[in-house]
């Protein structure tokens, strides 16, 4: 699919953008997914690895049985995850089932802190061009950035740290493990976060809420229409939603355009998002052309 910036409703988009801009940086925070949002969605014709899929990329990490079993679950559950004909409630139930199996199996296979550091070092992620600039720019302007992700949070944080981007303004809401004194994972902490239950994860339940509760203007970024649910329960004033569309199905694209204000097709880099953010902060005006 060609690269295109689809502004679903230019009049609504410009109004929201203007309101956020007038509110200034002190009233803004960013809420973002991580896998295939901050990182690219595709590598050639294949989907790029997610944080969790790096663990099954090579049997040397957790053994051949781990790789075999998790690939079997992927073949069973992933088609459900991407099938637009399946109801949201059914997807939620199946994704929770999948994630619980996966995370409990990780414990059984010996998941530990040393392994996290090793995998992250040996298996780098493909960050979108401009995404690291995006994180640095938010830090420079003291704008909180919250990652809400279904990934193993301990690995996600390690990826951010090893790229020197775990700034004071960055906070991660994700699936976290309880580790023992030897650094071995003993259990996954509740609640489990997956692609389709982000509407049930309330920011007010996390320490970061005190830093953002008065920042009522929000830039939300994701690569799945389920990511829009990240804002659920937050009393925002203005919300601008940007979606990275990494697929080629016109049917799924219609779902995207019904959930996001702006859709970036063709697995784009972060160039547009960076320009948009700078315009919102009156730093570098972006000329928006109305789509005809």
Q: Contact at 8 Å (CB) between 210 and 29? A: no
According to DSSP, residue 25 is labeled G
Give the active site residue among 26, 35, 58, 235.
35
Which sign, positive or negative, has the C-alpha torsion 191, 195, 197, 199?
A: positive
Q: What is the CA radius of gyration of the chain?
A: 19
- Report the SS3 class of residue 179: strand
CA–CA gap between residue 113 and residue 145 (Å, rounded): 25
CA–CA gap between residue 283 and residue 27 (Å, rounded): 16
Q: Contact at 8 Å (CB) between 202 and 5? A: no
Which sign, positive or negative, has the C-alpha torsion 70, 72, 75, 80?
A: negative
Which sign, positive or negative, has the C-alpha torsion 171, 175, 181, 183?
A: negative
Burial class (CB in 10 A: 0-12, 13-18, 19+), 278: middle
Residue 261 is among the residues annotated as catalytic for this protein? no
Query: Which residues are paired to 91 by β-bridges?
Result: none
Three-point CA angle 64, 66, 68, nearest 5°: 70
Residue 267 is among the residues annotated as catalytic for this protein? no
Give the active site residue among 33, 154, 223, 227.
33
CA–CA gap between residue 107 and residue 207 (Å, rounded): 27
CA–CA gap between residue 140 and residue 115 (Å, rounded): 32
CA–CA gap between residue 40 and residue 133 (Å, rounded): 15
Catalytic residues: 33, 35
């Amino acid at each position: 699919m060609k690269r295109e910036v689809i502004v679903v409703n230019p009049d609504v988009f410009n109004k929201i953008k203007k309101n956020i801009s007038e509110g200034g940086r002190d009233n803004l925070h960013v809420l973002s997914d991580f896998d295939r949002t901050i990182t690219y969605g595709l590598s050639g014709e294949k989907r790029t690895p997610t944080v969790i899929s790096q663990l099954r990329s090579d049997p040397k990490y957790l053994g051949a049985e781990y790789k075999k079993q998790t690939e079997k679950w992927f073949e069973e559950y992933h088609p459900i995850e991407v099938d637009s004909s399946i109801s949201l409630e059914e997807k939620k139930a199946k994704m929770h089932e999948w994630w619980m199996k996966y995370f409990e199996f990780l414990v059984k296979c010996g998941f530990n802190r040393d392994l996290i550091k090793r995998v992250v070092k040996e298996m780098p992620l493909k960050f979108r061009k401009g995404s690291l600039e995006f994180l640095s720019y938010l830090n420079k302007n003291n704008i909180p950035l919250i990652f809400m992700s279904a990934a193993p949070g301990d690995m996600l944080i390690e990826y951010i740290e090893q790229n020197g981007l775990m700034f004071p303004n960055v906070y991660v809401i994700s699936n976290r493990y309880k580790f023992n004194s030897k650094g071995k994972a003993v259990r996954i902490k509740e609640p489990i976060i997956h692609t389709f239950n982000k509407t049930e994860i309330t920011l007010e339940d996390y320490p970061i809420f005190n830093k953002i509760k008065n920042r009522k203007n929000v830039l939300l970024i994701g690569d799945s229409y389920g990511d829009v649910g990240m804002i659920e329960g937050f009393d925002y004033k203005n919300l601008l939603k940007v979606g990275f569309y990494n697929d080629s199905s016109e049917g799924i694209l219609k779902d995207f355009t019904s959930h996001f204000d702006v859709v970036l097709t063709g697995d784009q880099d972060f160039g547009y998002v960076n320009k948009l953010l700078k315009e919102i902060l009156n730093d570098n005006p972006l000329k928006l052309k109305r789509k005809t």
